[in-house]
Structure formats: structure tokens, C-alpha cells
């Protein structure tokens, strides 16, 4: 499995190098640069482990990576290790097949948590509220996809397909609402700055202008 993964990564690298050697337009160069920048922001990954009693579990794939605490903060919106674990436990259980009444399936948990970390790193929540909302968004997305998959299964009744489609539609509407809520929260409270733009008219009356600036939670101005 490891050899296949290395061969695949090598193939991707070769293709990227071949693409870089081509005569590219400015737009293509910008796309390639964006690809390289995004591929360098690798999220935290986990792997299967067993303790002395042969009990399965998961652990960090690269525990010595000095950027791991930073990546965990960027993915979950909190530096608190206990809350990070709680949020990860919650999101893992929204992936199909990871847990059941018979227990946890660690062969499915590892790819699930790695997929979740990739999505969370893309959302990049800035605080605990955004982190919780991001976890909920992944859960709702998983529910919607599960219902859509069930709706496409052969051999079910019309009523069964209709019920699955109705549930999927409800989840998709919820997801859109969550995205809007996240954007609204990120925008933050509109702040007004009163700037002393003073000019003196011919009659000697001072005119003070007010300039409004919108500053969101990430420090960007509009």
C-alpha cells in the first residue's frame, strides 16, 4: 500500500514538473502557482496504531512535526486539546461505517478523520464557534450524501426513493443555511471610524466627514 502511494505521488510530481516546463500562459502559471501553494498546506494526518494489549486506535502520522499544533488550531478553531479531540470524535461519527452498535471500525475511522481534517483545513475556522459550525457542516453534508446514495439504489419503492430525496433536500438546504451563517459570522460587526476630514468653507464653517469601514474577523477591510 505504501509503495503504491509513493508511486502515485511520484507520478503527480513528474506531471507537475512536465507541466512547469511547458510554455504556459500567465493564467496557467497562476493556476499552477495556486496548486503548489495549496498542496504545501498539508493538513494533519492520522494512522492506525495498536497498544501493548493489541487494542486498535489512531495516532498522529507525524507526531514530531512542529507545525502540528498550528495545523490543529487552523483546522478546528481552538488551541484546546480536549476540545479538539471532542470535535474530532463528533465529526468522525458522521462518516458512514465508522461506528455501530458493535463498536468502532478503525479501518474506516482513519480515512474518515483524514478526510475531515482536509475539509476543516479548507474551511479554516478562526475560533471555537466557527469550529463547531464547521463540524456541523461536515455532518450535514455526510447525511445529505448518504440520503442521495440511498435514493439511487435499485430495487426500492417509489415511496422509499421519495423519502430519501426529501431528506437529502432538507439536509442540502440546511447546508446552504450553514454556509450563509458562517459568512455572516465571519463578516463580524460593522464598525464605523470617524475620521476628521476637516475642510473650512468660505464662511469659516468646519465640515467633518464620517467614513465607514467594514472589518471582518480575519482583519480584512471592505
> Which pLDDT does position 12 carry in this prediction?
67
Q: Which helix (H) or strand (E) holds 75?
A: helix 68-76
Sequence-distant (6+) residues with CB within 8 A of 125 are 75, 76, 77, 131, 133, 134
**Grid coordinates belonging to 149:** 446514495
Least confidently predicted of 6-15, 92-101, 151-160: 6-15
Mean pLDDT of 177-204: 65
Q: Residue 159's pLDDT band (boundaries 50, 70, 90)? A: very high
Sign of the torsion formed by the C-alpha atoms of 198, 200, 204 and 207: negative
CA distance 36 to 39: 5
> Which pLDDT does position 122 carry in this prediction?
93
pLDDT exceeds cutoff 80 at 21: no
To the question of pTM greater than 0.75 for the whole model, the response is no
CA distance 148 to 144: 6
Phi, psi angle pair for 216, to nearest 5°: -90, 180
Phi, psi angle pair for 150, to nearest 5°: -65, -35
Q: What is the pLDDT of residues 118-141, one digit of tens each?
A: 999 999 999 999 999 999 999 999
By C-alpha distance, which of 170, 163, 175, 172 is closest to 137? Answer: 175
CA distance 79 to 72: 7
Least confidently predicted of 16-25, 79-88, 182-191, 205-214: 205-214
Sign of the torsion formed by the C-alpha atoms of 170, 176, 179 and 185: negative
pLDDT exceeds cutoff 70 at 207: no
**CA terminus-to-terminus distance, the chain:** 48
> Which pLDDT does position 209 carry in this prediction?
43
How much of the chain exceeds pLDDT 90, in percent?
A: 55
Q: Residue 196's pLDDT band (boundaries 50, 70, 90)? A: very low
CA distance 96 to 90: 13
User: What mean pLDDT, rounded, does the chain reach?
Assistant: 82
Q: What is the pLDDT of residues 33-52, one digit of tens each?
A: 899 888 888 899 999 887 76
> Which pLDDT does position 222 carry in this prediction?
47
Amino acid at each position: 500500500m505504501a509503495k503504491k502511494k509513493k508511486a502515485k505521488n511520484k507520478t503527480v510530481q513528474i506531471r507537475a514538473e512536465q507541466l512547469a516546463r511547458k510554455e504556459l500562459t500567465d493564467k496557467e502559471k497562476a493556476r499552477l502557482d495556486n496548486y503548489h501553494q495549496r498542496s504545501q498546506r498539508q493538513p494533519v494526518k492520522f494512522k492506525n496504531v495498536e497498544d501493548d494489549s493489541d487494542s486498535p486506535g489512531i495516532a498522529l502520522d507525524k507526531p514530531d512535526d512542529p507545525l502540528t499544533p498550528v495545523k490543529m488550531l487552523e483546522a478546528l478553531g481552538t488551541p484546546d486539546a480536549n476540545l479538539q479531540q471532542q470535535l474530532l470524535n463528533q465529526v468522525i461519527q458522521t462518516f458512514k461505517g465508522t461506528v455501530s452498535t458493535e463498536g468502532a471500525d478503525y479501518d474506516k475511522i482513519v480515512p474518515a478523520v483524514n478526510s475531515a481534517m482536509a475539509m476543516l483545513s479548507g474551511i479554516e475556522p478562526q475560533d471555537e464557534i466557527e469550529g463547531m459550525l464547521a463540524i456541523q457542516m461536515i455532518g450535514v453534508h455526510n447525511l445529505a450524501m448518504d440520503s442521495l446514495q440511498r435514493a439511487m439504489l435499485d430495487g426500492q419503492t417509489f415511496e422509499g426513493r421519495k423519502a430519501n430525496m426529501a431528506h437529502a433536500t432538507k439536509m442540502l438546504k440546511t447546508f446552504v443555511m450553514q454556509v450563509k451563517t458562517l459568512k455572516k459570522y465571519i463578516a463580524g460587526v460593522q464598525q464605523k471610524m470617524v475620521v476628521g476630514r476637516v475642510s473650512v468653507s468660505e464662511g469659516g464653517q468646519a465640515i467633518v466627514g464620517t467614513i465607514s469601514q467594514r472589518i471582518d474577523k480575519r482583519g480584512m477591510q471592505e
